[in-house]
């Protein structure tokens, strides 16, 4: 696998990504990825990209399900 930006070698690594699913920021840690030795560009395999989407969807639902606000405090 080569860097799609500059064509250099990439190595296996992990990264942290901040996603904005529409309710603030979701930070996903330890995402397996490939990193370019030259330009630090990060690549995900299709599998990982799909999983990030799945996680985002899951968290969206979770947040909707478990968010409890106190009316008096929230109003």
Q: Which residues bind Zn ion (CB under 5 A)?
A: 3, 5-6, 8, 36, 38-39, 41
**Paired residues of 19 in beta bridges:** 26
- If the CB atoms of residues 19 and 41 are measured against Zn ion, the closer one turns out to be 41
Least distance in angstroms from the C-beta of 37 to Zn ion: 7
Residue for token pair 């397996």: 32
Cβ neighbour number for residue 7 with a 10 Å cutoff: 10
- If the CB atoms of residues 6 and 62 are measured against Zn ion, the closer one turns out to be 6
Integer Cα distance of 32 and 28 in angstroms: 11
Helices (H) and strands (E) in the chain, counts: 2, 3
Least distance in angstroms from the C-beta of 43 to Zn ion: 9
Least distance in angstroms from the C-beta of 71 to Zn ion: 52
């Amino acid at each position: 696998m080569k860097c799609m930006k500059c064509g250099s070698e990439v190595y296996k690594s992990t990264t942290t990504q901040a996603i904005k699913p529409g309710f603030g920021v979701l930070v996903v840690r330890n995402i397996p990825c490939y990193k370019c030795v030259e330009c630090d560009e990060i690549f995900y395999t299709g599998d990982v990209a799909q999983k990030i989407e799945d996680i985002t969807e899951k968290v969206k639902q979770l947040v909707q399900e478990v968010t409890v606000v106190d009316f008096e405090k929230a109003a």
